[in-house]
Amino acid sequence: MAERRLAGRLRIATLSTLKTLEQFDFAAQPGLDRRLIEDLATLRFVEQKSNTCCSSAHRGVGNTMIATALGYETVEPGYRAYHITAADLVARTTKAALEGR
C-alpha cells in the first residue's frame, strides 16, 4: 500500500525516472556546491514552505538529475512535489495570463 502511495506521488510530481542523489557524480561537476545540494536534501526548504529551482547557463551539467533526485527525496516521506522545465513553466504561465488566469 505504501509503495502505491509513493508511486502515485511520483506520478503527480511528474518525475519520469527514479534518480537519487547517491547516483549523482559530484566529481564530474567540481563547480557544484555539494553542501548546498545536501542541505536541500534535508528538506528544510519544504518545512519553510519554500521552492527550489535548478538552473545553469550550460546544458548537461546535471540540473534535471538533481531536480529529479530532490523531487524523489521530497515525495518519499510524503510531501508533494512538482517537476517542470523552465520552458514548460513559461508556456503555461503565458497561456494562463492570456486566458486571464
Domain limits, the chain: 2-98
What pLDDT shows up at residue 84? 83
Q: Could you tell me the pTM of the whole model?
A: 0.74
- What pLDDT tens digit does each residue of the chain (101 aa) get? 556 666 666 666 667 667 788 889 999 888 888 999 999 999 999 999 988 888 777 777 788 888 888 888 888 888 888 888 888 889 999 999 999 99
Domain covering 2-98 in this structure, CATH number: 3.40.50.300
Identify residue 101 by its one-letter amino acid code.
Answer: R
Residues 58-70 as b or e (16 or more Cβ within 10 Å = b): eeeebbbbbbbbb
